[in-house]
Amino acid sequence: MSHRLPDLGQGSERSRLLEMLNDAGARRVLREPGPDLGLAEHVPFPFFAMVGQVEMRTALLLAVINPAVGGVLLIGPRGTGKTTCVRSLTDLLPYVEVSLCPEGCLPSDLDADGNPDVCPECRQKLEAGQPISTWDSVKLIELPLNARLEDVVGGINERIAVQQGRIRLERGILARADQNLLYIDEVNLLDDIIVDAILDAAAQGSYTVRRGAMVGTYRSRFVLIGSMNPEEGRLRPQIMDRFGLRVPVQGLMSRAERFEVYRRVRRYQSNRRRFVAEWAALTAAAHEDLIAARELLKETVLSDAAVEVGLGLVQDLGIDSHRAEYAMFEAARAHAAADGRDVADVGDIRAVAPMALRQRRSQFMVDFFAQQDEEDRTIRERIDALVADGGFHEER
């Protein structure tokens, strides 16, 4: 299996963001140690220090550039770097406007008349000229497997109820994941009730919590990232369909690459801050390129050839779900934007199609529709036989 990105053809120039994934000689720009970042509590492994696994890292970058891709599912055995790679996105994530209000109010929340549709406290702040939001980097929110439904969707704040004698709804993980990345490790082991809550929130972009007479509706527009080991159980089709890109993650087979993994992990474990600082220059450059790609994405369109090839591919593969071409086309636009282009062509379709289309063709549904066609044929044959036996004439 090749760990390099596909060739987009002659005459195409890659942006720094995509070339960084392929640049085996990246150490040449990192010989000068970067400044001490002062990271203490959370020092993730640098994204570009990951060895190989280009498709996995590309899929994650495309989802960050364009949340409309629909998330990423990483499928592979234990110890292949899935969780490490997801967590390493932290230093690359862009900035978004976030609310300072527990209810999640934003200045852009307007009603039908154009007036601020916010809670009373935020309305008072807006009238007084005080901010109710700020700009912050996108966060990686992790959903633990032992999370309760109340933790996920929210519930009554017991501390405020006891200390202040008033009932208040507390936002759950899904609300805190709004405009962020929601990561679920071992997603195939998640309780069905939690999966259903996530599916509803992901489909609607919001969800409603009811606790007695209290009702709260929260935004939940997040990028869903999951990882799983297929040896431990399959993933329900309902949630599998919600992942736009699916990436099989195998262990590296090259001896040189495996030893490089060992060498880098050992250096990281020995002195995390120093190791992160060595990759700081590349990380900072990629961060800027990612922000630029998100801006360019607003103007990026699909070429006519890309549309025709993409639709033909979906049709030839016999894929029923319309999410297939949506994920593929949005990933193609993100791939072009990452490459510094505002037109996604057939080369971009070629690069993202395997990630967007694999595991979407359901043999069960193929057999189901074939059975229905056979049953319909039998019904029509019986009608024709009855008409012929009774000497009836059809009236048109």
Q: How many residues does the chain have?
A: 396
Three-class HEC string of the chain: CCCCCCCCCCCCCCCHHHHHHHCCCHHHHCCCCCCCCCCCCCCCCCHHHCCCCHHHHHHHHHHHHCHHHCCEEEECCCCCCHHHHHHHHHHHCCEEEEECCCCCCCCCCECCCCCECCCHHHHHHHHCCCCCEEEEECCEEECCCCCCHHHHHEEECHHHHHHHCCCCEEECHHHHCCCCEEEEECHHHCCHHHHHHHHHHHHHCEEEEEECCEEEEEECCCEEEEEECHHHCCCCHHHHCCCCEEEECCCCCCHHHHHHHHHHHHHHHHCHHHHHHHCHHHHHHHHHHHHHHHHHHCCCEECHHHHHHHHHHHHHCCCCCCHHHHHHHHHHHHHHHHCCCCEECHHHHHHHHHHHHCCCCCHHHHHHHHHHHHHHHHHHHHHHHHHHHHCCCCCC
Catalytic residue among 323, 358, 377, 380: 323
Q: Is 123 an annotated catalytic residue? A: no
Q: List active site positions.
A: 323
